[in-house]
Amino acid sequence: MATVISAAAPPQQEPQPGPERTPSRDRVMGVFRATPFTYATLIIVSAVLCVPLVFVVSIALSSDQTVNANTFTILPREFHWDNFTRVFSTDLPMQRFLLNSVIISTGAVIGQMLSSGLVGYAFARLRAPGKNALFIVVLATMMIPAQITMIPQFILFKELGWVNTFLPLIVPNFFSNAFNVFLVRQFVSRLPSEIDEAAMVDGLGFFGIYRRIMLPMLAPVLIAIGIFTLTATWGDFMGPLIYLNDETKMPLALGVQYITSTSQALQAPPWNLVMVGSILLTLPMILVYYLGQRYLYEMDISGGSAGVK
Amino acid sequence: MSRLRRREALWFYLFASPWIIGFVVFLLGPMIASIYISLTDWDSFTPPKFVGLENYTRLLTEDPVFWKALWNTFFYAAISVPLGLGIGLWLANLLNKQVRLRKVFRTLIYLPTLVPLVATAMIFKMVLAPSGPLNDVLGVFSIPGPSWLLESIWVKPALILLSVWGAGGATVLLLAAMKGIPRELYEAAEVDGAGAFRQFWSITFPQLTPIIFFNLIMGLIGAFQVFSQVYILTKGGPDNASQMMVPLLFNEAFSFYHMGYASALSWLLFAVILVFTLLAFRTARRWVFYETEVK
């Protein structure tokens, strides 16, 4: 329990400016008044949603015997913290999984941040014949499901000899994607154009403007893109499943599933270690969300409503 | 065109080149290849054999598993997406009140959406086990719990349950949007004597429809492409009761190496998604409210 709560609690300590904190009016209007029923519902729902997570922690701290006998309880009665170190020393290459996840995600994040900023800036600011038609193509590609290109891409990477390497999971990110281009474009469109006009008068070229003027201002949107990419890559299951079949190449998301699928036939999977793996998979996401919250908020809302209007 | 304008255009294409190259190499090229592959019988090792539309006709007329997977995917999308949005909206409305510890509740409700899908699947494998926690709880009320993932009538509800666990994602988005609704609207309604339910239905809901609509579309598109949880938890079983479009496609392509058949399947999936998206847009005019139309 403690782990989950402490991971969740910090946002509360930080008073946030803006609309979050409604100014105290003379009196709270009827619809906005919280009744005991409101609290009861919220407490029950939050509890129900968090029970599975509490179980995860409890199982992760259980001994092998408890797990095999299926006698674990919701609140942990035993605290086998050594499970968290044992997971790295069994014949399961867990540290390898973790390292692979870090390598793949880092590559993907760098690729998207480098390329999306450049392309998005071009679509927002530079004038060129055919640009608007091209932007419609960008938007249209968002509708095409990844499954259409899955098979030909696999063939392509197989021909390149990239199967069973990280390259198919990293390299495409260096070519940006429609959603990120759209996000950056919207972001740049809101920046005053006097800034780059002034820079141009001062004799900066287009790349100079991008590098020296735009890039620092793009930090919030690029961080948001970094978070989106990290979350998507870190948790990606299908990509590694298609391209990686060597145990030592697998990232954590595939590795955790691999543990349960291989031991199935012989004996029950080591659930405590699987749950430790699941925690290792989840904690970075909570951390990233917590650190990047304000960027995500900004992007989600602007991106979310701009997408339909 | 002036020299400066030409230079600017050149820079545009230079800057946009990552996306343009990526579009040609990873999207347009593969799409064209996919159309061709879908017209062949190909195992990816021997040369492809052109068979015309046979893959499509076989899928639509001879393959009972395809129709079952299509129906299952419809069922899953049609229930999980509106249900998740409905619960998300309900919770957002509760959190929009003057609740103490709002941030704590919001964080707890959002927490499940931060759990990667693979870990979620592992968690639900444990929760939904025949003698797992969920059935223990049901046992307290003397309800005999089913073997969720092993029974063909319960496997789809189990997958829907897993998806609804992430309803907090919608809650956070909708809550943020609710904060943007002008208070004056509620004040006026209160003066007019409208009750809480009426105010929700006549102010909150219409004001949120653009965001609800956006989430509905994205949710449906996502639900039609559900893969990981099915692959990990059920492999489509029992008796194809939880077989869905993408896991079926994956199996055809990477277990049986029916590249042509799988490619045809991917185009049918695209068609289904397209039809639903267009359908949603067609009906949107009737219930989605845009401020700009009133002004």
Count chain A–chain B contacts defined by CB atoms under 8 A. 287
Q: For residues B193 and A215, what is the distance between their CA atoms, to the nearest angstrom?
A: 53
Does A280 lie in the same domain as A160? yes
**A298 assigned to some structural domain:** yes
**A150 assigned to some structural domain:** yes
Does A130 lie in the same domain as A214? yes
Best interface-test mutation with A: which of B12, B35, B246 has the largest number of A CBs within 10 A?
B12
- Residues of B within 8 A of A19 (CB-CB) are 179-180
Domain ranges of chain B: 63-294
What pLDDT is stored for residue A17 in this prediction? 46
Buried b (16+ CB within 10 A) or exposed e, A144-176: bbebbbbbbbbbbbeeeebbebbbbbbbbbbbb
Does A59 lie in the same domain as A117? no
**A172 assigned to some structural domain:** yes
Using DSSP's 3-state secondary structure scheme, residue A69 falls into coil
What pLDDT is stored for residue B294 in this prediction? 56
Q: For residues A237 and B63, what is the distance between their CA atoms, to the nearest angstrom?
A: 28
- Residue where one domain finishes, among candidates A20, A55, A80: A80
pLDDT in tens, B173-218: 899 889 889 988 998 998 998 888 899 999 999 999 988 998 898 8
What pLDDT is stored for residue A262 in this prediction? 66
Q: 3-class secondary structure for chain B?
A: CCHHHHHHHHHHHHHHHHHHHHHHHHHHHHHHHHHHHCCEECCCCCCCEECCCHHHHHHHHHCHHHHHHHHHHHHHHHHHHHHHHHHHHHHHHHHCCCCCCHHHHHHHHHHHHHCCHHHHHHHHHHHCCCCCHHHHHHHHCCCCCCCHHHCCCCHHHHHHHHHHCCCHHHHHHHHHHHHCCCHHHHHHHHHCCCCHHHHHHHHHHHHHHHHHHHHHHHHHHHHHCCCHHHHHHCCCCCCCCCCCHHHHHHHHHHCCCCHHHHHHHHHHHHHHHHHHHHHHHHHHHHHCCCHHHHC
- Residue where one domain finishes, among candidates A80, A104, A137: A80
Contacts with A, B 25-54, CB within 8 Å: 25-27, 29-31, 33-34, 37, 44
B253–A contact, CB cutoff 8 A: yes
pLDDT in tens, B61-70: 999 999 999 9
CB contact under 8 A, A147 and B108: no
Is the predicted pLDDT of residue B290 greater than 80, yes or no?
Answer: no
Does A256 lie in the same domain as A162? yes
- Residues of B within 8 A of A155 (CB-CB) are 33, 44, 259
Vertex B254: Cα angle to B249 and B260 (nearest 5): 60
- Residues of B within 8 A of A256 (CB-CB) are 118-119, 122
Indicate the CATH number for domain B63-294.
1.10.3720.10
- Residues of A within 8 A of B96 (CB-CB) are 32
- Residues of A within 8 A of B179 (CB-CB) are 19-20
Please tell me the distance in Å from A153's CA to the nearest CA on chain B: 6
Q: For residues A304 and B62, what is the distance between their CA atoms, to the nearest angstrom?
A: 42
Does A290 lie in the same domain as A172? yes
Does A277 lie in the same domain as A132? yes
Rounded mean pLDDT, A42-51 = 93
Does A252 lie in the same domain as A167? yes
- Residues of B within 8 A of A285 (CB-CB) are 114-116
Is the predicted pLDDT of residue A9 greater than 80, yes or no?
Answer: no
Cβ(B267)–Cβ(B96) below 8 Å: no
Residue that wins the pLDDT comparison between A202 and B82: B82
Does A107 lie in the same domain as A31? no
Rounded mean pLDDT, A206-214 = 89
Pick A119's closest partner by Cβ from B19, B253, B274: B19
B269–A contact, CB cutoff 8 A: yes
Cβ(A128)–Cβ(B7) below 8 Å: no
CB contact under 8 A, A158 and B44: yes
Q: For residues B32 and B120, what is the distance between their CA atoms, to the nearest angstrom?
A: 36
What pLDDT is stored for residue B145 in this prediction? 84
Q: Which two tokens stand for residue A275?
A: 């749950």
What pLDDT is stored for residue A263 in this prediction? 54
Q: For residues B250 and A146, what is the distance between their CA atoms, to the nearest angstrom?
A: 12
B98–A contact, CB cutoff 8 A: yes
Query: pLDDT band for position B88 (50/70/90)?
Result: very high
Domain of A252 in residue numbering reads as 94-306
Cβ(A259)–Cβ(A269) below 8 Å: yes
CB contact under 8 A, A31 and B199: yes
Does A98 lie in the same domain as A17? no
| Ordered alpha helix ranges (H), A69-145 | 83-86, 94-125, 131-141
Cβ(A244)–Cβ(A254) below 8 Å: yes
B113–A contact, CB cutoff 8 A: no
Does A160 lie in the same domain as A183? yes
Rounded mean pLDDT, A44-65 = 89
**A12 assigned to some structural domain:** yes
Residue B278 burial (10 A CB sphere; 0-12, 13-18, 19+): exposed
CATH label of the domain that carries residue A271: 1.10.3720.10
* pLDDT-wise least confident of A46-55, B204-213, B232-241, B285-294: B285-294
Query: pLDDT band for position A298 (50/70/90)?
Result: low
Residue that wins the pLDDT comparison between A30 and B172: B172
Is the predicted pLDDT of residue A6 greater than 60, yes or no?
Answer: no
Tally the domains of chain A: 2
Q: For residues A23 and A31, what is the distance between their CA atoms, to the nearest angstrom?
A: 16
Q: For residues A55 and A25, what is the distance between their CA atoms, to the nearest angstrom?
A: 42
What pLDDT is stored for residue A15 in this prediction? 44
- Residues of B within 8 A of A175 (CB-CB) are 18-19, 21-23, 25-26
What pLDDT is stored for residue B79 in this prediction? 96
What pLDDT is stored for residue A143 in this prediction? 85
pLDDT in tens, B111-124: 999 999 999 999 99
Is the predicted pLDDT of residue B40 greater than 80, yes or no?
Answer: yes
Pick B117's closest partner by Cβ from A127, A158, A237: A237
Rounded mean pLDDT, A101-121 = 96
Does A281 lie in the same domain as A151? yes
CA dist A81 → A91, A165, A246 (Å): 19, 34, 30
Does A283 lie in the same domain as A247? yes
Of B160, B117, B123, B83, whose CA–CA distance to A51 is shortest? B123
- Residues of A within 8 A of B183 (CB-CB) are 29
What pLDDT is stored for residue A5 in this prediction? 34
Pick B37's closest partner by Cβ from A33, A119, A152: A152
* pLDDT-wise least confident of A42-56, A191-205, A243-257: A191-205
Q: Scanning every residue of chain B, which has its alpha carbon at the shortest distance from the alpha carbon of A255? A: B118
**A89 assigned to some structural domain:** no
